[in-house]
């Protein structure tokens, strides 16, 4: 295809040279000592999000080469092609238009379809949220992957905005341990089941939907039309399932980009029509920033360039996300799908093997919990793992003392990663819990922190529908940019197919016990499971 791949640019070679000369041994502490203006130069504003990139192993010189890379890879024209609706998901022949779902009427492709579904959905939402009239107290979203992770992340994040008389449940796994405890908490007359599936064929979702339908009937439920609703592109399959109320969307909405579509129904039920519109508006503000800000101030572009710098030059294999907000506890899981399903690819747009690495592993837990689990490794382990802190200035609860402690912890971790502690420093400090059997120098070496470990801090003023919308859109566009630099298709997911097909073959064998034609390991395990 006619789009330059990162490794075929002059900037890539220049970055190689720059990495050897200055990147490999770059020291954050020295960089701050050299440049008192570093924080100002390397922190950026985007709608609802302030980003401090100054604790990363970059400076104006590396940024200069990275921005050249973005220009040579024609990031701006590729971005414009996405917004315009060109079929950039070329292996499926589809446009990629999740941005159209949050654009004001008339400002993006498919505007009238998008707004007519949105209006119908939000009108419906308000009738259900009138719990006196509807009788609905429990919403059960049955969906998986993109039909689950977005809503499951957003609803708790916006807990302060959630209808106080409704409880939200998310069932995704084809494991009775997921749906069984939910069914124990609900009554048919008070429950609305949302069957959320782009394709309406996904094994897990269809199996759970059947369980819900059977449970509903056998527990005295009478009105399927009122208590089951579908959100899908496959309206026909939803009707065949027996569902009368369906909110549709389109094949140009990727599953992991679908929370803005009718897949967001559970979100809208939780926070109401106005707040759902605010979520969309926040995302649209970030879309405009991405579409219009110069590359050197364009936050999704800058974050993606740092990602590529770390992955392909420093060789870092993962990135840890640490949201210092309990409401964002599902953000790492959401980002895993967004980034790893999008950019976990090994061939370029022409199907040629890539000679460089793509998606890092994305993982994490909310702070401060992660500090008491795996931060040990981040501080003193043998791998360098860039960390992304997400801090929220104002809480929506009244426990200000807790919030100050939370923020101090987030700042301290980023500081500790960067500053570290020398053996000399450690040797001067008291270590009351250290063994008396060991000499002071050995203890000091165990208590040394190498430091120079990079982090990014994203700062929101408050976690609101608008700011969360902006934050999610920021991540979406960052993934787009790194995928575009790597020259891959970020919008297909062929890698999930093989396991699905093999599962289809294995399922009847679990009943028949037939192991013919299976590899030795699978045959052995199947025998143990069936005899």
Q: Give catalytic residues, as residue numbers.
A: 341, 372, 500
Contact 190, 137 (CB under 8 A): yes
**Residue 445 structure tokens:** 């070496």
Size of the site for ligand F6P (CB under 6 A): 14
Q: Which stretch binds ligand F6P (CB under 6 A): 139-147, 178-186, 436-444, 466-474?
A: 139-147
- For the window 336-365, what string marks contact with ligand F6P as x by the rule CB under 6 A? -----x------------------------
Give the chain's largest Cα–Cα span.
76
Q: Is 413 in the site for ligand F6P (CB under 6 A)?
A: no
Residue 429: CB atoms within 10 A of its CB come to 10
Stretch binding ligand F6P (CB under 6 A), from 34-42, 153-161, 194-202, 429-437 = 194-202
Return the structure tokens found at 524: 């052995």
Stretch binding ligand F6P (CB under 6 A), from 140-148, 281-289, 295-303, 429-437: 140-148
**Residues 224-263 contacting ligand F6P, CB under 6 A:** 255-256
One of 198, 289, 345, 509 touching ligand F6P (CB under 6 A) = 198
Write the Ramachandran bin of 298: left for phi over 0, alpha for psi from -120 to 50, otherwise beta.
beta
Nearest to 265 by CA among 226, 235, 296, 229: 229
Query: What order of strands is seen across the sheet that includes strand 387-394?
Result: 43-46, 49-52, 455-462, 387-394, 318-324, 361-364
CB atoms within 10 A of CB 526: 18
Q: Does 199 bind ligand F6P (CB under 6 A)?
A: yes
The answer to the question of residue 62 lying near ligand F6P (CB under 6 A) is: no
Smallest distance, ligand F6P to C-beta of residue 232, A: 8
Choose one: 150-158, 196-204, 320-328, 438-446; the region binding ligand F6P (CB under 6 A): 196-204
Q: Could you say which of 197, 261, 320, 336 contacts ligand F6P (CB under 6 A)?
A: 197
Distances (CA, A) of 147 to 22, 119, 260, 288: 44, 20, 11, 26
221 contributes a contact to ligand F6P by CB under 6 A: no
Taking the least distance from each CB to ligand F6P, the nearer of 263 and 426 is: 263
The answer to whether 145 contacts ligand F6P (rule: CB under 6 A) is: yes
Question: Distance from CA of residue 72 to its chain's centroid?
Answer: 27
> Rule CB under 6 A: which of 463-502 touch ligand F6P?
493, 496
Indicate whether 371 belongs to the interface with ligand F6P (CB under 6 A). no
Q: Smaller CB distance to ligand F6P: residue 310 or 480?
A: 480
Q: H or E stretch including 497?
A: helix 497-512
Cβ burial of 439 (10 Å; 0-12, 13-18, 19+) is exposed
Contact 283, 463 (CB under 8 A): no
CB crowding 358-376: b at 16 or more within 10 Å, else e: bbbebbbbbbbebbeebbe
Task: Tell me if 94 contacts ligand F6P by CB under 6 A.
Answer: no
Residue 146 as a binder of ligand F6P (CB under 6 A): the answer is yes
Which one of residues 141, 205, 320, 336 is an interface residue with ligand F6P (CB under 6 A)? 205
Per CB under 6 A, residues contacting ligand F6P are 144-147, 197-199, 202, 205, 255-256, 341, 493, 496
């Amino acid at each position: 295809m006619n789009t330059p791949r990162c490794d075929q640019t002059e900037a890539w070679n220049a970055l190689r040279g720059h990495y050897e000369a200055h990147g490999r041994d770059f020291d954050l502490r020295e960089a701050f000592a050299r440049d008192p203006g570093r924080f100002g130069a390397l922190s950026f504003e985007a709608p609802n999000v302030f980003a401090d990139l100054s604790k990363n192993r970059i400076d104006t010189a590396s940024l200069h080469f990275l921005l050249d890379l973005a220009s040579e890879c024609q990031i701006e024209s590729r971005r414009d092609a996405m917004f315009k609706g060109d079929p950039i998901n070329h292996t499926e022949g589809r446009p990629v238009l999740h941005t159209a779902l949050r654009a004001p009427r008339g400002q993006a492709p498919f505007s009238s379809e998008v707004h007519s579904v949105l209006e119908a959905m939000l009108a419906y939402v308000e009738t259900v949220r009138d719990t006196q009239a509807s009788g609905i107290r429990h919403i059960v979203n049955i969906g998986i992957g993109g039909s689950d992770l977005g809503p499951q992340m957003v609803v708790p994040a916006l807990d302060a905005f959630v209808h106080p008389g409704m409880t939200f449940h998310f069932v995704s796994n084809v494991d009775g341990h997921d749906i069984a405890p939910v069914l124990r908490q609900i009554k048919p007359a008070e429950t609305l089941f949302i069957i959320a599936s782009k394709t309406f064929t996904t094994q897990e979702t269809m199996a759970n939907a059947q369980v819900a339908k059977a449970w509903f009937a056998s527990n005295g439920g009478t009105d399927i039309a009122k208590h089951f609703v579908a959100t899908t592109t496959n309206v026909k399959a939803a009707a065949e399932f027996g569902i009368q109320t369906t909110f549709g969307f389109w094949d140009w909405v990727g599953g992991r980009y679908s929370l803005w579509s009718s897949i967001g129904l559970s979100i809208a039920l939780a926070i109401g029509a106005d707040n759902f519109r605010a979520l969309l508006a926040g995302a649209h503000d970030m879309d405009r920033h991405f579409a219009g800000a110069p590359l050197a101030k364009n936050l999704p572009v800058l974050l993606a360039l740092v990602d590529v710098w770390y992955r392909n030059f420093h060789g870092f294999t993962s990135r840890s996300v640490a949201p210092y907000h309990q409401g964002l506890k599902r953000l790492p899981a959401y980002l895993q799908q967004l980034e790893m399903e999008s950019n976990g690819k090994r061939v370029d747009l022409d199907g040629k093997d890539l000679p460089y690495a793509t998606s890092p592993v994305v993982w994490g837990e909310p702070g401060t919990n992660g500090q008491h689990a795996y931060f040990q490794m981040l501080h003193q382990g043998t791998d360098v793992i860039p960390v992304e802190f997400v801090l929220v200035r104002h809480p929506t609860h009244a426990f200000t003392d807790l919030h100050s402690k939370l923020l101090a912890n987030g700042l301290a971790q980023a500081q500790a990663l960067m500053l570290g502690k020398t053996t000399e420093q450690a040797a001067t400090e008291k270590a009351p819990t250290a063994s008396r059997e060991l000499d002071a120098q050995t203890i000091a070496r165990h208590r040394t922190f190498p430091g120079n470990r990079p982090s990014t801090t994203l700062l929101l003023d408050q976690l609101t529908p608008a700011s969360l919308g902006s934050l999610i859109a920021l991540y979406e566009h960052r993934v787009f940019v790194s995928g575009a630099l790597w020259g891959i298709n970020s919008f297909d997911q062929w890698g999930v197919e093989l396991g699905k097909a093999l599962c289809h073959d294995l399922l009847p064998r679990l009943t028949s016990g037939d192991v013919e034609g299976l590899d030795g390991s699978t045959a052995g395990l199947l025998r143990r499971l069936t005899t």
